Structure formats: C-alpha cells, structure tokens
Structure 1
C-alpha cells in the first residue's frame, strides 16, 4: 500500500497541478433587427482565461472568466470548466473543453431617468470547444489554438416608474416595487469562436 501511494505521488509530482489557458479571438455570428427581423453578419472581440487543477493525467477542472464585446452590450462570462488532452506528453495534443455558467452585465450601460430605467441581465452560457496544444521547447509554456461554439442568453429590461403616491400603490407580484410597467426582451447570441493564446 505504501509503495502504491509513493508511486502515485511521484507520478503526479512530476506534472504541474495548476493549468492556465488564456486566449484572445473573434466571435462570428448573426444579429437580428428586433423591428424588421432582418439579420446581418457580426464579428466581435472575445477573450477567455481558464484556471484549473489537474485531477488526472489528461483531465483538468476549474473555472473561466473573460470578456465578450457584442455590439449592444459587453459581457463578462463566468463559468465552471473542463479541459481534456489527447496525445503524448511533450508533443502536440488535441484539447477538448466545455464551459458552463453565466454572463455578468456589470459593464453594460444602464439608463436611468425620472420616468424609468433600462438595464441588462445575463443568462446561461454554454461553450464546448476543441483545439490544439503545442508545447514550447522549454516545456513551461504552450501555444493553444481553439475553435468553440458559444451560446449566451441575455435579457434587456425597460421599466417605467409608478407615478402615484407610493403609500397607495397596489402590490403586484409580477412587477418589481416602484414600477407600473416592465418590458423584457430576450436575446440569444450563438457564435462560432476562433481563439489563440498561451498556456502554462
């Protein structure tokens, strides 16, 4: 038993536990005009950094966050993630990945006036990916190139304040306090993502 424990400890001790993958790229997709229904091609800047711990020789789990710059809103995606490697150590490998989480709209513009308020909220984000891991000669860093599909939900709210005396407001289970109307617009961004970066 002691010999087995020492062998496993030695094996994992030779391999770094921490894994980081930071990439920059472009998201390609279509955007739809809410009024006319017409669609047009879009390309948006994106970046992602993944921080994980190696739980097995070819498997890493951790979390990721980044920045997605859509035309109408900026999103910070935050997710739990997995990376899996296929190939011999020290050589180029295939890398599979999956991130599942949500999108923060903390950077999005919020409009307020005496009449109402307009704001964004993020929804569920899912992104499978596949790519290549090309180690440098020193073995400490690697070039990564990946292709991903990203599905991001977003919600835009436009509310009008209740102008009557708050002391005589009627409670409404469907509206936040202080509003007499609220419009919700749902968005679904589906993108093909091309990224490149470094891993260490």
Structure 2
C-alpha cells in the first residue's frame, strides 16, 4: 500500500512540473490542480461491512441485512489531481485522479472532471469562485486481511464541490475547496463450492471533504 502512495505522489509531482508555464487563463492550455485534504464522515465502529448473503448453511457472528451497526466519527486523508484543458476562459474539462484513505480501504478514483468559474473579482487576474464536479469509478488498492477468498472491488464515485482560487504573481494559484464525496465499494468472497457459501459485503461512504492545493 505504501508503494502505491509513493508512486502516486511521484506522478502528481511530474504532472505539476509539466504545467508550470504561461498564464492560467490562456485558452486551450493544459492545467493541473493538485490538492491535499481531509475527509470527514461516519464509519462502522467494527471492522466489517453490512453483510448481504446469497445463501449460508450455518449461522455465523455476522450482522443480518439491514442490521443497525454502531458508528463512529472518522477523518481520513485524501489527495486529488485534476488534469485538463481550458475549453473556454471560465471552463476546464479533463480527468481527475486521486487517492483516498478510508478506515478499511485505500481507493484510487479515476473520473471525468469539470471546473467552472462562477464569479471573478477582475477580468483576468483576480480571485475567483468556482464549482467543481467529478464523476467516475474508484478502484480498491487494499486487501482483506486473514481471508484468502476475499477480493475487494471498487464502485462509482461522485464528488461535487465549490472552491476559491487565489492567483499568485508567477501565474500559478492557491486553491481551497469544500465538497461532498460519495464512494461505493464491495467485497466479494469466492469460497470453494464445498463451503456452500456465497457472500458479498457492500458499503457506500459519504464524506465532507476539505482540500487545499495549487493550480499550475
């Protein structure tokens, strides 16, 4: 898992270096927005998901479908990198890649991203208010411990938000964003046929995300 994080950070630094030239408002220009932040939400206090059985032939110490699980407040780190082109002076379209650390998982979301300027203090170089939207799929990078038959799968991801862009003299900008993130995932257990057991755990995470970073 650590190697995945290091590789991702190296890729982000390379992309950022590529985008550090000319004015951010030059039409058709490549733009990179890299942010680091914290995701706030609620998660089960115990190390399992709500369980949905296909069938089972013996009772087990698992919650039944729809069971009420005790939850706790959690804070997890998140990284996001938007890479796109300016279609219009106030519109950016591109791809967003990220890395999200959850209580029981490490997700790599890949999505289509949109950044739209809503308000701008001056015509070109002033502070601006913008909306962001990312829609895509999150891939799980983690493994289930102590269960060789378990395989973690990803799921659809949605991340709308709103942010402030504060330009700097060198053409880059400081960016602050706040948003909502929805990430689905599941764990599939492929037990041998003699076990007569098929199991799939599903989870949908809802997070309030605060990020800060730079636009190049």
Q: Match of 1:108?
A: 142
Deviation of the 1:159 alpha carbon: 2.5
1:151 maps to what in 2?
A: 182
1:49 pairs with one of 81, 89, 111: 81
**In structure 2, what is the Cα distance between the partners aligned to 1:45 and 1:14?**
32
Q: Could you say which residue in structure 2 is the equivalent of 1:181?
A: 197
Contact 2:134 2:160 in 1 (8 A): yes
Q: Alignment partner for residue 141 of structure 1, among 162, 172, 176?
A: 172
Corresponding residue of 1:170: none
Are the counterparts in 2 of residues 122 and 154 from structure 1 also a CA contact under 8 Å?
Answer: yes
Aligned equivalent of 1:70 = 102
What residue in structure 2 maps to residue 31 of structure 1?
43
Please state which structure has a larger fraction of its residues in strand: 1
Which structure would you say has the larger Rg? Answer: 1
- 1:21 matched residue in structure 2: 33
Partner of 2:192: 161
- The answer as to whether partners of 1:46 and 1:69 remain within 8 angstroms in 2 is yes
Q: Size of the alignment, in residue pairs?
A: 169
The one-character-per-residue Cα deviations of 1:162-193 (angstroms, maximum 9, x if unpaired) are: 24xxxxxxxxxxxxxxx853211110100000
1:111–1:117 contact (8 Å) kept in structure 2: no
Q: Which runs of 5+ in 1 are unaligned?
A: 1-12, 164-178
Cα deviation 1:17-53 (Å, max 9, x = unaligned): 1111000000000012444611100000000000011
SS of the equivalent of 1:72 reads: coil
CA distance in 1, matches of 2:178, 2:44: 23
**More relative contact order, 1 or 2 (CA 8 Å, 6+ apart):** 2
